[in-house]
Amino acid sequence: MTELDIKPGQNVHQKFNARQNELRLFIINDIVTQGHTFNLDTDRQKALDALAMDREEYDQIVEVLLERDGMVIDEDSRDVNFIYPVSALETGHRVTLADGRKFCAMCAIDAIGSTFTFHQDTVVDSSCAACGTPVHIEMKDGRVAKCEPEGLYALSFQLEELSNWAGSC
């Protein structure tokens, strides 16, 4: 796959090369650990130090992440508000990781998928978008171990036709 060979339906990780994913995952983990947005300017040095990266490489990768919808920022503050599957802003889709960290996901489907992003068991607390019924899902070893209400199912759709998908589901 070339740098620009992005296919519809491709998972987010596959849209980026190894180095780009290192920065993407660093920002994700920083948001989850700190419990607030990552600012591309004021928090830059943390990433540079942790990833042995210079500013030019950082700026280039940030541009790629933005161009390929790997993250969404507030243009004025340069805060990362959404970086799949994490929302630095409050949502109704709460995820608890096995390591005890908690965060909001962009949508319920992203909350379920968090188990694969973080490679650990997760607990998801959300609600039905149609009726508001509370939803509780426990993911263990990449599978649904428990869900309430029983018989729960989720609907998803392709977001390629949306120019800005963050917070849209």
Identity of residue 124:
V
Mean of per-residue pLDDT scores for the chain: 87
Backbone φ and ψ of 2, nearest 5°:
-85, 170
Q: What is the pLDDT of residues 62-110, one digit of tens each?
A: 999 999 989 999 999 999 999 999 999 999 999 999 999 999 999 888 9
Q: Are 65 and 22 in contact (CB under 8 A)?
A: no
User: What does the pLDDT read at residue 2?
Assistant: 33
- Asked if omega into 149 is within 30° of 0 (cis), the reply is yes
Q: What is the value of pTM for the model shown?
A: 0.84
Neighbours of 58 (CB within 10 A): 17
The shares of helix, strand and coil residues in the chain, as percent rounded to the nearest 5, are 30, 20, 45
- What SS3 state is found at 146? strand
Please name the residue that has the structure tokens 């188990």: 115
Assess contact for 161 and 169: CB atoms under 8 A. no
Q: Report pLDDT digits (tens) over 108-149.
A: 889 999 999 999 999 999 998 888 899 999 999 999 999 999
- Give the three-class secondary structure for 126: strand
